[in-house]
Structure 1
């Protein structure tokens, strides 16, 4: 979980296919289905964060949600589908947050790449704090089989987007390394925020990391 996400319209999210049916996540829910799915996701997040993904039981998730177990399978196919839906929801919210921040900064006339990058980083980290329940789950590295590969795909896409935002020449290895280091710093800080319980400490972390990013973002020489 790292990087500044700025949708470009040219890259699509990669979904991890289900090995049993060859499909990705369920289609966007509407109406009553949305209510059912939200109840299932809320319950799944509770159980996952309390017990870990591996030890979480579907029966307990269904009981806490008040939704029959059969409906859980119908909507998500099992634990794996629930976890991936939570990740997708988290990722999309982070994209919306950082994109809105960058748009607002540009509307104010900000065009300096480093200033924009750090503003996006702050928005992303504040989102990691606001959504820290799922962040705590990510800190544990306890997810479904294949999830690490999926997260690495997103990380690579975020590095490319950060490079464009910082106007770094991706053909130069030194430039790519600099952007990857910056992205890794953000990801590490997001993980710390996921494990943080004090708002004052969380704000201190965000401020500290943004200062570090400002220093590291400057091109050498």
Structure 2
């Protein structure tokens, strides 16, 4: 689901200055969205906190919706890179058991959710731009399909599809809970507990 960030105009070359400006805008947007929620966040405040003029904000992101979607895409891509690297490392150690790989990927995803908990807390509020729910559902469906392939589940069988969807829902729910953890120790307890649950639930029936 790449390319969801809306462009307000001509694409700019990814110069160091552009990257710095965009990073400052995203950091400020995340702060304001987290404090006030998406609906009540103001572009003037985001611009003021970033030190970037409002006009430049529109040039780079087209407005508040573009900022939110850019934050989502940044979060999503970071999570995908993290889990992919973990799976590559496991396979490099000759791990080929589907359940072991699935749980390793789930652990990486959950630890990434803790590391990026500021945005995770924002997602829990379900206070995003119009149309975001549809984009999120689209990504969720792709996530379920990837997990089905990882677990070597026959997606043509309804029981298999349901099992993978339940497992994916468990991970998503746990990721949301991590946003409310008091500290890393509590977060790690949740990650360990959920991974134990996933091992139990991942075993094929019979």
After TM superposition, is the score higher than 0.5?
yes
Report which structure shows greater RCO (CA 8 Å, sep ≥6): 1
Q: As a proportion of its length, which structure holds more helix?
A: 2
Maintained 8 Å contact 1:135/1:195: no
1:39 — aligned with what? Answer: 24
- 1:47-96, CA deviations, whole angstroms, 9 ceiling, x for partnerless residues? 00000000000000000000001000110011000000000000000010
Contact residue 4 and residue 117 of structure 1 kept, 8 A: no
Q: Note if contact 1:3-1:158 (Cα within 8 Å) is conserved in structure 2.
A: no
1:135·1:191 contact (CA, 8 Å) conserved in 2? Answer: yes
Deviation at 1:200, TM superposition (A): 1.0
User: What is the aligned-residue RMSD (CA, Å)?
Assistant: 5.3
Residue segments in structure 1 that go unaligned for 5+ positions in a row: 12-26
Q: What secondary structure does 2:95 align onto?
A: coil
Per-residue Cα deviation, 1:92-116 (whole angstroms, up to 9, x for no partner) = 0001000000000000010000000
Task: Deviation per CA, 1:182-203: give whole Å up to 9, x if none.
Answer: 0000000000012223211100
TM-score w.r.t. length of structure 1: 0.87
- Pick closer, same or farther for the CA change 1:6–1:213 going to 2, 3 Å: farther
Deviations 1:124-172 (A, max 9, x none): 0000000000000001010000101100000000101100000000000
TM-score (norm 2): 0.93
Q: 1:172 to 1:28 in 2, by over 3 A?
A: farther
Q: Does the CA contact (< 8 Å) of 2:7 and 2:60 recur in 1?
A: no
Count of equivalent residues:
206
Structure 2 portions without partners, runs of 5+ = none
Matches of 2:151 and 2:7 in 1, distance apart?
15
